[in-house]
Chains A and B, each alone.
With several copies, the nearest count.
Chain A
Amino acid sequence: MTAPVALTKKDFETANDVRWCPGCGDYAILANMQRTLPDLGIPREQTVFISGIGCSSRFPYYMNTYGFHTIHGRAPTIATGLKLSRPELSVWIITGDGDALSIGGNHLIHLLRRNPNVQLLLFNNRIYGLTKGQFSPTSEIGKKTKSSPMGTVDAPFNPIQLTLGAGASFVARSVDIEAKHLQDMLKRAHGHRGASFVEILQNCPIFNDGAFDAVTDKATKADIVLQLEHGKPMLYGKERNKGIRLVNGTLDVVTLGENGVTETDILVHDEANLSQAFLLGGLHLPVPVGVFYRVERPVYEDLLNGQVAEAKEKKGDGDLQQLVNGASTWTVP
């Protein structure tokens, strides 16, 4: 192996024309990924992007690493096989709200419970982009789309609560164009040993424009977005005077100084607290971003390959002749 060379964003760009619509949030996510990877210190050839189908799933084509643009909803399965057999590789799964939560919902939850050490990024634009604008499992109820002219009647999933319920060991949320935050989340996801789930709110200017305007608009976002930071009180707002208080098992939005509320009343974020993370997942205003939950759990490929090692230790490296001989034989002279 050659000595590690410091890589740059450029090293991760491909010659392929990027084929998203102008203004698509996917561009920002791509750039942030290309900016983040050089900092991780993983050689390009050790990095693999695996995606399903959707606009978002074109992502691997634009990353100058190994990549596999697979089939709709199945990226987690292919990533699992790769990671189990090649644990040394750094594996990223790229998926959309349709890919991961509609057709691929089952693979998502099973990946999370098994906990292989991979990163799964869900680009949530709350719409099916590639197929031109049908509602997705994260579309708000009542949304009018091509396939729901009178508005959807399907209550959406809450991706944070769903993945927590599935037993995920790392659950986070970020925003396509919040470069610093997103890069930070990508690094934290990568740093977590186990399956990391990151929901990235992503604008689709063509079929669901402005879905996250409130979250990204400079004028409003301070009053809308709650940055979760481990060990820090959940304060937000332009004047950082709004906060979250836990009352009887539910979360209340309060204002410092009003009704006698002081900073000590404000809930302190604890990434290790599962039920609190679940509660935070249910918050719609403010919109929490950051790491909701993180716990160390045994890693799937460690366990599986550990059994191989243990078997070899106990029984010795398998001998083929012994295998075919089996327990009882007879000889014809």
Chain B
Amino acid sequence: MDQATKVVEKREAVVIRFAGDSGDGMQLTGTQFTQESVMAGNDIGTLPDFPAEIRAPTGTLAGVSGFQLQFASYDIYTPGDAPDVLVAMNPAALKLNLPDMVAGSILILNSTAFVQKACEKVGFASNPLEDEAFRHKYRIYAVDMNKLTAGAVEGMDITGGARTIDRMKNMFALGLVSWMFHRPLDVTVEGLKRKFGSKPEILEANLRVLKAGFHYGETAEIFTHSYEVPAAKIPAGTYRSITGNAATAYGFITAARKAGLKLFLGSYPITPASDILHELSQYKNYDVLTFQAEDEIAAVGAAIGAAFGGHIGLTTSSGPGVALKQEAISLAVMAELPLVIANIQRGGPSTGLPTKTEQADLLQAILGRHGESPVPVIAASTPADCFDAAIEAVRIAVKYMTPVFFLSDGYLANGAEPWQIPDVAAIPEIPVTFRTEPEGFQPYGRDEQTLARPWVRPGTPGLEHRIGGLEKEYGSGMVSYSPENHERMVHTRAAKIRAIRQDIPPTEVFGDERGGLLVLGWGSTYGAIRSAVREGRAKGKKVSHAHLRWMNPLPADLETVLKRYDTVLIPEMNLGQLRMLVRAEYLIPAVGLNKVKGRPFTKSDILEKIEELA
């Protein structure tokens, strides 16, 4: 049976999940399949999901690593809800993911691993491959991947021998599904060449296995169907795939360049923020200094030092690390220095769920310091949006001379989407003026429009001055214990942050201008909300969507916008933090939809609630 005689089905969108042991290379497989899909012109959304342990024991539920991808011929915003296809490399991977699979979905199973003992170990009563009911419920493709992989490289002399070969079976799986969904292999071939360039024999072996998988699909009789997902109609332009953390790193580099300053990152590794540090440490030729500090306090301290020195000070972390930075951030509030604190949120409290996503650090960012210590907060809504949000964070920090929180989360950080590559020349400069004029210099004098104090680079003659964490006298910046001055300064610092509203564009609503249900979101819930609202509207529901970018201050028009709708629904991956702010600010009885599972909302999570309310 050759390709021609096989049935080709057309699909609008497919959701596929790869799952296997931590050592099985599922993240790589998923990423490569994503690359192939974007090259095929589909819109995509991804959701990697891996355990907190580096490599939990093989064959256990705890050790399962997964990667979900949706690719479609229209614009999608999420990695999809229930998978259409599951690739499971062992019984543990099947066991853990089976609850998400609907009847009739496709299961591609590595039959080599489905031995009785392994099945029992993870709680299957018997080998599911031998279970009739199971075989009827799903469309099962059992493939002896280890054997086929070994066969593909037969005769080659590979360092590491059987063990190394075994680890290539993910390439077999990738080749197979690439055939199944008509994906071009070239981008993976290129990727493997980059990765194994220095080890030609490993490269060769991987390529053989990859192609063997592809050909196996083509030739093996069990595969009667393949699927075509036509290219999406997306705006003309040049695209790439990008993860949130990479976009964040590029955004900060771009911002510093646009401001004409060095970027200084002070960071201490923590999941899921570390990749920003890794990324930035590779771009030293962009005038990026990365300092891996002894802890989070030193990291933010060094960033403040660099900001004091007249550069773009950045620090990246996640909730527990941000907790440690708050005292220093409060210093930056008092010293009125620009600084960006990026929090890539994860599941809390405490160490919590380090590799899972959550949005529960919003109030920590806005309200979590001692004293009246206002800090503006911006939240990115998609992986690619991290780029723009990072630039905006820097722009506001230097314009208003203030620390700024940049919020992302584990889902955005590791998730990928296609990104229309911007023309960097078109990105506006970030104007920075350092004061050099001694005449009339007041360290805490203020710009009328922004209330910002002047930024002075140490080294500027005639402007020597001292700043610090004790209350400052308005204007002179001298230490002041005066009651009236303190009150004035507390109000001034608050007013300065409120003034940022002049930089926030009017709130955009997708849907109706007024009436019915408004779903108000922030951060990474964007995709799920937008898909659900679109579908709700298609079903005739009166439902609209507004998505916040600035969490503090809230947009000046938000109250008016919210009050135009009958009901406001706020979905959040927390117990209702934005809801609390909205209720307190506008006295609006906003309704919450709260999911705190370390997992992003699915479209149907939200659609269900829409159908209940609209």
Contact = CB atoms under 8 A, between A and B. Distances in A.
Q: Do A and B come into direct contact in the complex, CB within 8 Å?
A: yes
A195 to B, nearest CB: 14
Contact of A45 (B38, B190, B253, B461): B461
A197 B556 CA distance: 52
22 contacts: A17-B57, A45-B460, A53-B351, A66-B464, A67-B465, A81-B302, A81-B307, A82-B458, A131-B270, A134-B277, A146-B281, A147-B269, A305-B289, A317-B285, A320-B254, A321-B423, A323-B254, A324-B421, A324-B422, A327-B194, A331-B239, A332-B236
A307 interface: yes
Contacts of B270: 131
B112 to A, nearest CB: 19
B282 to A, nearest CB: 5
B129 interface: no
Contact of A85 (B187, B264, B292): B264
Contact of A328 (B35, B289, B302): B35
Contacts of B56: 17, 19
B466 A67 contact: yes
Given A65-B464, A74-B301, 15 more contacts: A14-B466, A19-B53, A71-B351, A78-B301, A80-B305, A81-B301, A82-B305, A86-B458, A103-B268, A106-B295, A106-B298, A154-B292, A305-B289, A323-B283, A324-B250
Contacts of A150: 284
A155 interface: no
Contacts of A134: 269, 274, 277-278, 292
A21 B425 CA distance: 47
Contacts of B62: 17, 19
Contacts of B53: 19-20, 58
A287 to B, nearest CB: 25
B306 interface: yes
A329 B313 contact: no
Contact of B302 (A53, A77, A146, A312): A77
A81 B281 contact: no
A132 interface: yes
Interface string B54-65: 111110101100
Contacts of A58: 53
Interface in B274-315: 274, 277-278, 281-311, 313
The residue among B190, B268, B291, B305 with the most chain A CB atoms within 10 A of its own CB is B305
A236 interface: no
Interface of B: 35, 38-39, 41, 53-58, 60, 62-63, 187, 190-191, 194, 231, 234-242, 250, 253-254, 257, 262, 264, 266, 268-271, 274, 277-278, 281-311, 313, 320, 327-328, 331, 335, 350-351, 387, 421-425, 457-470, 478-479
A35 interface: no
* Interface size, A (range): 35 or more
Contacts of A102: 268, 294-295
Contacts of A71: 320, 327-328, 331, 350-351, 469
A141 interface: no
Nearest to B231: A332
B58 A131 contact: no
Contacts of A19: 53, 56-57, 62-63
A318 B286 contact: yes
A112 to B, nearest CB: 12
A141 B470 CA distance: 33
Nearest to B61: A17
A125 B137 CA distance: 48
A205 B292 CA distance: 23
A307 B257 contact: no
Contact of B285 (A2, A53, A315): A315
Nearest to B190: A328
A70 B285 contact: no
Contact of B289 (A17, A20, A85, A106): A85
Contacts of A82: 305-306, 308-309, 458
B306 to A, nearest CB: 4
Given A70-B469, A146-B274, A84 B234 contact: no
Contacts of A231: none
A77 B298 contact: yes
Contacts of A312: 284-285
A185 B303 CA distance: 30
Contacts of B460: 45
Contact of A330 (B63, B238, B281, B292): B238
Contacts of A79: 305
Nearest to A204: B54
A135 B236 CA distance: 43
Contacts of B60: 17
Contacts of B231: 332
Nearest to A113: B294
Interface string A28-65: 00000000000000011110101001010010110111
Contacts of A74: 297-298, 301, 328
A60 B466 contact: yes
A21 to B, nearest CB: 4
A261 interface: no
A110 interface: yes
A84 B291 contact: yes
A1 B282 CA distance: 35
B458 A48 contact: yes
Given A45-B459, A69-B468, A311-B284, A130 B41 contact: no
Contacts of B191: 328
Given A19-B56, A55-B54, A86 B351 contact: no
B297 A323 contact: no
A123 B331 CA distance: 23
Nearest to B258: A320
